[in-house]
Every structure is written in C-alpha cells, then in structure tokens.
Amino acid sequence: MLGSKKKYIVSGNSGIKAQIQFADQKQEFNKRPTKIGRRSLSRSISQSSTDSYSSAASYTDSSDDETSPRDKQQKNSKGSSDFCVKNIKQAEFGRREIEIAEQEMPALMALRKRAQGEKPLAGAKIVGCTHITAQTAVLMETLGALGAQCRWAACNIYSTLNEVAAALAESGFPVFAWKGESEDDFWWCIDRCVNVEGWQPNMILDDGGDLTHWIYKKYPNMFKKIKGIVEESVTGVHRLYQLSKAGKLCVPAMNVNDSVTKQKFDNLYCCRESILDGLKRTTDMMFGGKQVVVCGYGEVGKGCCAALKAMGSIVYVTEIDPICALQACMDGFRLVKLNEVIRQVDIVITCTGNKNVVTREHLDRMKNSCIVCNMGHSNTEIDVASLRTPELTWERVRSQVDHVIWPDGKRIVLLAEGRLLNLSCSTVPTFVLSITATTQALALIELYNAPEGRYKQDVYLLPKKMDEYVASLHLPTFDAHLTELTDEQAKYLGLNKNGPFKPNYYRY
C-alpha cells in the first residue's frame, strides 16, 4: 500500500540490606504548542532519543483516535487521572500481555516471591524512563511488590505498547507514554514523571540518559537528593562517564549496560533473534543471498551478523576497534570500510552507539531500494536530518517504513526513521529481557540499601556476585544442573565454593 507523497521544506535559521539470599546464603510547559506544531522542549539537553520531524500520529494506524492523549481527560477505575496514555480502555488487553510475559520472566517472579515479604525497596521512589513493554511492566510491578513507588515515561517515542501502558495506569502506576509521541510530548511526559508536588524521587532507572539529564539540567536540587542511578544503555553510560569526568556527577550510578548479564545476553542473544523479526515485519524480504553491511561488531553487531549469516546473507562488517575487527574476521566476515561496499549492499545496519555512521554522502551512493536501519539505542547513527531537503520526496508505505526518493527516481527504504529497529518495528524475546530486568532490579536494591560510603559519586559496575545470581535464577527454566566444586577443588582454585567464580577482569 502506498502513502501520500510529501515534500519536506527546510528553512534556514554489595551487599543488600534486605537479606536477599545468594547461593552462599528549555521552554515552559504552561505555554503549550499546538498539536501540529509541537517540537522538542530541550534539544540542547539531548538529541539522542527525540530527533524526529514526524507528527505525533505518524506511526499509529489510520483508524486510531488521533486526538493527542494530552488533550484527553481519562481516569482509571479507581478514579485516578495521574497518568497519560493513549486509551485507558485498552487496559484489559494489556493485562493479558503482561501475564504472558510473566511466564517467560522466571527470575523476576522468583525475586518478587523471595523478597516481597522484606520489602527491600520500601521508601524508594523510582522515576523510570525505559521502553514501555509487557516486559517492563513485569519489572515495574516487581519493584512495586518490593516496596517501591514508581513513575514512568518512555525512552523511545515508537516503542511503547499502548495497551500495556493502559494496564499499568489502570493498576495505579503513573505512566506517561504512548506510541508515536512528538518530540514535545516526549519531554512533557518526562517532566510529568518528575515534577510532581509532594513527590521527590530518590532513585533513577534510565535507558539512554534523557531522564537523568533532564533532572540534572532542569531540577538540580532534586538531582542532588537522588540516592542512585541505574543506566542500561551504551549511550546513557557514556553520558554518565562524561558527567563523572567533568566532576558533575553528584550521585553514585550503576552501569548495568556493561554487566555480563546485559552484554552477553540482552545485547547478543536478543539482537540475534529480533533483527530478523524487525526486518521481516517491515519489508517482507528474503535474506538468502542478500548483501548486508553491519556497522559495528560489539555484542549487538555479533548477534545481527550471526543471524543474517545463518539465513544465507553475505555479511560485511565495519569496525574501528582492531580487537572487534579481528573477531569479525575470525568469525568469517569480511572487514571493510563502508565506502567500499555502499554501492552494492542491499541492507545497511548500524549498531555502534556513535553518531553520523551513515552520512548523506553514503545515502546518496546507495543502490535503489537499499534498506537502511539502526539497531543502536539512539537515532544519531544515521544522518536522517540530511534527508529533509526539498529535492527529496518522502513516501510513507506502511507503519515504520518510509521510501526516500531522489530526483532520478532512486529510493531507499528507511525503517523507523533511524530509531531502534527491533523495539520500534517488532518485539524482542521476553526471556532475555528477564535477565536484563532482574539485573536492573538488583542494581536498584543494591544502591538504595548500600551503607553510607560504599559508593561514592562515580559510575560502578554491578558486583560479580549479582551477575552470577541473576544467571542462576534463569537456569531452572532449562532444567540445568550446575556442577559444584569440592572443597579440594575450591581450595586449589582459591575460590569460595559458592562464587564469585571469575575475577572482575575476566572476559566471558
């Protein structure tokens, strides 16, 4: 099906207090723009999650009610209106999705069962900014069962499941998110989570760093009272390290992204499965024989390459790191510079965490019908802004799919406007997200309950013991049986029989 053609005119101008047992035991909001003309309130604060010129209803079905949720008066069955979602009436459908997700998230459910009696997060007021999916809902409800109060916004304007957001709102969680937010909506939702009379957050759970930077820039006094930050993305961690290096990070932060249970499972296995799902749902293409270039061979790139290779694609890799580059070569992939293959490849996938990996020059040289997409957290990897010029025509062909047409008739297929492909265009494996979500929950518990002085104003990695605990909670799903060290073996290796089994510098 073909959408209407549209010209874009661009103008100038370690221990846990609560006894969880391990194995051994820029604009003001009162001047709201019109619905059509809403733009970002703080482009100077962050562009990583919001650079987009699409309207709020860009990626919703044409049959949807296009009234902005901000213009609706909604209440849940308890009479509360402290939320903003697409349609609260979808709550029952969303609840069923959450119940399905619970079946594939054994560790969170086990954590909820083991620790809810002791309420290790009693008194915690967590403000979160992550993808709002059924899996996130299980995490939020687990945090609530452990004693926390939560307020939540979405870290991506296209990844929210409206029915899940409605189910959370119906359950009493203040959620401010819907699929297809505008830039202004994005920042408005974050501010509604944070700026609440009589409610002071003391913990932050972030994915991308936008929430952290919003509080840091707009509410510095509030930021100073935060007990801890948990960040799960490459982009957000990078921004935390920048703050720390500049001496501006006044609270301890936990880098969950580089924990083993995030890097080796979510980044690798999740992307290995979801890259194919996202491409197939949006383009219906066959992968066998297609030439693909994957920019970046970190854990995300490794997962994407493995999946595409298994489907019969010819895969090229670009890398800046000689170690990752050598891994790609040893795995059987041809290491190239993007310029060397840009004219011949059928698909371009970015997963570097960098900016301007694919530039306008690359886009100009691509072959007709080349598919361009991003698997990194932020929409900075593909220079989509450079395509908003008068000589190019944009044609919406289906949800999340745009044809960008050159004057000579050549077109490229741009997916999700350069945003995260899998969560914008498809779904991700629930079981893998259970691993990440459990890691996040334990990091929050650790920071919240840590005695004074354990963590300074810096960025920390999750203790190895917690990584191993998260992994152990997921093993029963596979009916897996761990071998136990004998006393003699443990003494020989210099280890505690119950772990940790590897030093912090070990590379899995």
The CA–CA distances, whole Å, from 420 to 11, 177, 186, 377, 382 equal 28, 17, 16, 6, 11
> What's the confidence (pLDDT) of residue 353?
87
The CA–CA distances, whole Å, from 9 to 137, 310, 416 equal 40, 42, 20
The CA–CA distances, whole Å, from 232 to 54, 96, 455 equal 27, 27, 18
Which residues partner with 126 through β-bridges?
150, 203
Tokens at residue 163, please? 């029915």
Strand pairing report for 175-176 and 5-7: unpaired
Residue with tokens 């494996």: 429
CATH superfamily of 70-258+451-470: Adenosylhomocysteinase-like (3.40.50.1480)
Residues 32-50 pLDDT 10s? 444 444 433 333 344 444 4
Over 80: is that where the pLDDT of 313 sits?
A: yes
Q: Residues annotated in the binding site for substrate, as ranges?
A: 133, 207, 232, 262, 266
Q: Cα separation of 483 and 368, whole Å?
A: 55
* For residues 192-206, average pLDDT: 95
Over 60: is that where the pLDDT of 375 sits?
A: yes
> What's the confidence (pLDDT) of residue 267?
86
* For residues 374-392, average pLDDT: 93
Residue with tokens 């948990």: 230
Q: Cα separation of 325 and 244, whole Å?
A: 29
Q: How many residues does the chain have?
A: 508
Q: Residues annotated in the binding site for NAD(+), as ranges?
A: 298-303, 319, 422
Domains of the chain by residue range: 70-258+451-470, 268-425
> How would you class 292 by CB atoms within 10 Å of its CB: exposed for 0-12, middle for 13-18, buried for 19 or more?
buried
Q: Cα separation of 478 and 273, whole Å?
A: 19
Q: How many CA atoms lie within 13 A of 187 on its CB side?
A: 26
Residue 64 pLDDT class (50, 70, 90 cuts) = low
Which has the minimum average pLDDT: 9-13, 355-359, 433-437?
Answer: 9-13
Q: Cα separation of 147 and 152, whole Å?
A: 16
List of E strands, 143-223: 149-154, 175-176, 203-206
198: left (phi over 0), alpha (psi -120 to 50) or beta: left
The CA–CA distances, whole Å, from 470 to 241, 260, 296 equal 25, 10, 28
Over 50: is that where the pLDDT of 122 sits?
A: yes
* For residues 81-95, average pLDDT: 96
Average pLDDT, the chain: 87
**CB neighbours of 193 closer than 8 A, spacing ≥ 6?**
127, 128, 129, 151, 152, 153, 174, 176, 211
Q: Residues annotated in the binding site, as ranges?
A: 133, 207, 232, 262, 266, 298-303, 319, 422
The single-letter DSSP state of residue 390 is T
45 residue type, one letter: I
First to last CA, the chain: 46
Q: Cα separation of 121 and 230, whole Å?
A: 14
Burial 15-50 (b: 16+ CB within 10 A, else e): ebebebeeeeeeeeeeeeeebeebebbbeebbbbbb
Give the residue among 421, 408, 68, 433 at the shortest CA–CA distance from 275: 421
The yes or no reply on domain 268-425 and CATH 3.40.50.720 is yes
Do 268-425 and 70-258+451-470 have the same topology in CATH? yes
Give the residue among 50, 156, 60, 64 at the shortest CA–CA distance from 399: 60
231 residue type, one letter: E
Over 60: is that where the pLDDT of 351 sits?
A: yes
Q: What are phi and psi of 80, to 5 degrees?
A: -80, 140
207 residue type, one letter: D
> What's the confidence (pLDDT) of residue 284?
93
Q: Cα separation of 427 and 131, whole Å?
A: 11
Q: Cα separation of 65 and 179, whole Å?
A: 12
